[in-house]
């Protein structure tokens, strides 16, 4: 009887630990980190100029997307990044991806940034762009065809 009770309590503890560990993901619809409003202080610089050379920038579209990102930093600050670099790298928005070379190494980041740029040019607000990103519309971006 004591053995059964210990086993039952062990299972209860295991379930509680599992629930506690997954609680951070419950209820957030798995939307990665982003900022709901405009930046309140200057943002870190997006890589530019001679920084857009070398092995991380071997395709023309990589440079083009960084140039796009540099034109809309406040918009990218308000967008999530579905490569989930917020979890793996501590990024707080899509803007973070372009402060270093991560954006050039990740097709998700590049496609989301190009999508954000294109939608901004169409007059969409950051909130409308975010809704499109959450619907996966960025997946239709063909990086080989992006232009400023």
Other CB atoms within 10 A of residue 91 CB: 23
pLDDT given for residue 3 in this prediction: 53
CB 68 within 8 A of CB 19: no
Question: Nearest Cα to 113, choosing from 135, 129, 92?
Answer: 129
- Tokens 């990086």 map to which residue? 143
User: What is the C-alpha separation between 95 and 114, in angstroms, rounded?
Assistant: 12
Please spell the DSSP secondary structure of 61-121, one letter per residue.
Answer: HHHHHHHHHHH-HHHHTT---TT-HHHHT---SHHHHTSSSHHHH-HHHHHHHHHHHHHHH
Other CB atoms within 10 A of residue 139 CB: 13
Per-residue pLDDT of the chain (148 residues; tens, 9 = 90+): 665 555 654 444 444 444 444 333 333 468 888 989 999 999 999 999 999 999 999 999 999 999 999 999 999 999 999 988 878 887 889 999 999 999 999 999 999 999 999 999 999 999 999 999 999 999 999 999 999 9
pLDDT given for residue 6 in this prediction: 57
pLDDT given for residue 2 in this prediction: 65
């Amino acid at each position: 009887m004591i053995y059964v009770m210990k086993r039952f309590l062990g299972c209860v503890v295991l379930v509680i630990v599992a629930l506690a560990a997954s609680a951070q993901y419950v209820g957030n619809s798995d939307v990665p980190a982003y900022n709901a409003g405009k930046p309140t202080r200057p943002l870190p610089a997006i890589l530019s100029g001679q920084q857009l050379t070398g092995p991380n920038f071997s395709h023309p579209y990589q440079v083009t997307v960084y140039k796009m990102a540099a034109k809309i930093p406040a918009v990218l600050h308000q967008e999530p990044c579905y490569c989930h670099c917020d979890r793996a790298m501590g990024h707080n928005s899509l803007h973070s991806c372009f402060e270093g070379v991560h954006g050039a190494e990740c097709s998700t980041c590049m496609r989301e940034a190009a999508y954000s740029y294109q939608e901004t040019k169409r007059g969409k607000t950051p909130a409308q762009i975010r809704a499109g990103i959450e619907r996966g519309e960025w997946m239709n971006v063909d990086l080989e065809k992006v232009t400023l």
